[in-house]
């Protein structure tokens, strides 16, 4: 994992979300000293729609840090064709290297756990496919008027 913009960062982040908060049932939870918070904003109109998922992770203490990951999903037309998906991450406080070190620790822990599932965290097909399907389900969740 090279940095907060690398594909491996987002792969680890998505796996971390799915293993620490399955189906994202909780909007707040704690894992390995970090507090997670999830906020979702969405709009669906007759011609286009947008969903933004915002995750904030905070690790308190002497070398505390905080960072935010944002995922945007845009679609348009009556068939709700995907227009653009964006995701980015930014530190909000503390040391970027401390954030990356914590994420690398999580990556190693997930990698150790993955053989039980017959895969590896670096095996891009399995995690990415699962994450893409999950993201697609989130995108159209507002059809029911929530």
pLDDT surpassing 50 at residue 129: no
Is 72 exposed, middle or buried, given 0-12, 13-18 or 19+ CB atoms closer than 10 A? Answer: middle
Q: Give the pLDDT confidence of 68-121 residue by residue, as tens digits.
A: 999 999 999 888 899 999 999 999 999 999 999 999 999 999 988 876 555 555
Which pLDDT score is estimated for 137?
A: 44
Please give the mean pLDDT across all residues of the chain.
Answer: 83
Alpha carbon distance, N-terminus to C-terminus of the chain? 36
Q: Strand order of the sheet with strand 65-76?
A: 28-31, 34-44, 48-59, 65-76, 81-93
Which pLDDT score is estimated for 121?
A: 53
Q: Where are the domains of the chain?
A: 7-144
pTM reported for the whole predicted model: 0.77
Which pLDDT score is estimated for 69?
A: 98
């Amino acid at each position: 994992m090279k940095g907060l913009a690398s594909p491996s960062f987002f792969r680890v982040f998505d796996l971390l979300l799915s293993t620490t908060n399955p189906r994202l049932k909780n909007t707040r939870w704690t894992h390995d000293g970090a507090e997670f918070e999830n906020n979702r904003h969405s709009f669906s109109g007759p011609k286009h729609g947008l969903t933004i998922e915002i995750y904030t992770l905070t690790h308190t203490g002497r070398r505390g840090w905080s960072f935010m990951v944002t995922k945007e999903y845009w679609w348009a037309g009556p068939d709700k064709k995907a227009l653009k998906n964006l995701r980015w991450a930014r530190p909000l406080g503390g040391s970027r290297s401390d954030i990356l070190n914590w994420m690398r620790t999580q990556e190693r822990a997930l990698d150790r756990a993955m053989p039980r599932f017959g895969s590896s965290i670096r095996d891009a097909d399995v995690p990415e496919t699962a994450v893409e399907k999950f993201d697609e389900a989130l995108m159209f969740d507002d059809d029911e008027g929530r």
